[in-house]
Structure 1
Amino acid sequence: MKKLKTGFLINWNRLLRIMMSILGFSTAAGLSSCDGGGGQVEYGSPSAKFIVNGQVKSEQDETAIPNIQVTMQGDTVLTDENGNYEVNVTTFPTDQDFLIKFEDIDGTVNGEYQTEETTVEFVDPEFKNGSGEWYEGETSKTLNVDLKDKE
């Protein structure tokens, strides 16, 4: 009886190995059919960096305005002494619209200016410097802004 049980288990194990190999499971190298032929498995979603840069000036006399707060979807920077700024967002690589806000937050230090909001549109963006995998690269636009004096 014991010999019959042993023979049955050996045959059952053989049958299971054959079925697993047909389904794509291999215990030899720890691989499965999910490995895509031995290549690296990568999880996530495609992404790209959208960059907006430019200069903020006074509408009245065309002078650069430092310390203006520029915000684009969570990225916030201050303009430098020459009024230059750069904000960026990494998101899905498709057409995108970003609301950008320019706000004078330093009071009367550099004059007082009205807050301005504008939308930058990326339509059919071309990306460069991608990784060839999930990261598509980056694209940029320049947006120069002239702020009005507070009345």
Structure 2
Amino acid sequence: MKNYIGKESMNFFFVGLFVFAGLSLSSCNNEDDVENYAEHTLKGVVQDQSGVAIPAVQVIVKSNQAGWKNDTLITNSEGAFAKKYKISGNADVDYNIFFNDIDGESNGSYKTDSVKVSFTKAELKDGNGSFLGSAEKEANIKLTPAE
């Protein structure tokens, strides 16, 4: 008479083994493994040539930061925008901000424009531990009417 373990019993055994191994590995993480990061706050106001705020302008934020995905914001009724970004490490970072008029019918029509905003390691303040600090910059712009 042969004595063997059925397929179902073996599958159950391997699933249990993998779950145990996964739980053991996850318990190795501690606070020393937390990645260092900094916070950058970009804010600003979009106006026309006479200084009147322009609402509903699309603000596209691009960056040289590795793994960055473009971000899109819309100015509020006062033409303002703001966003805080959590950045890996404390490297110098450049943001290219593009302003597109998306509501030409109610606000008039404006040319697309852009501005570059740079953050340096030296500008970071109030860091402690894995939080390397924060910095804030304004990107105010006056859009030119489209012809």
What is the TM-score when the length of structure 1 is the normalising length?
Answer: 0.65
- Contact 2:44 2:81 (8 Å CA) reproduced: yes
Q: 1:42 aligns with which of 32, 50, 57?
A: 32
Task: Kindly report which structure 2 residues correspond to 1:2-151, keeping only aligned pairs within 5 A, or say none.
Answer: 40-59=30-49, 61-73=50-62, 74-91=70-87, 92-130=89-127, 132-151=128-147
What is the TM-score when the length of structure 2 is the normalising length?
Answer: 0.66
Instruction: Compute the displacement of 1:129 (Å).
Output: 4.4
Identity of aligned residues (%): 31
CA-based RMSD: 2.1
Tell me: higher relative CO, structure 1 or 2? Use CA pairs within 8 A at least 6 residues apart.
Answer: 2
Give aligned pairs, total. 112
- Contact 1:75 1:87 (8 Å CA) reproduced: no
* SS of match in other structure, 2:32: coil
- Residues 1:93 and 1:124: Cα distance change in structure 2 (over 3 Å): closer
Instruction: Compute the displacement of 1:68 (Å).
Output: 0.7
Larger Rg: 1
- Residues 1:84 and 1:41: Cα distance change in structure 2 (over 3 Å): closer
- Equivalent-residue separation in structure 2 for 1:71 and 1:63 (angstroms): 21
Unaligned runs of 5+ in 2: 1-27, 63-69
Comparing 118-127 with 97-106, greater Cα deviation is found at: 118-127
Unaligned runs of 5+ in 1: 1-33
Instruction: Compute the displacement of 1:44 (Å).
Output: 3.9
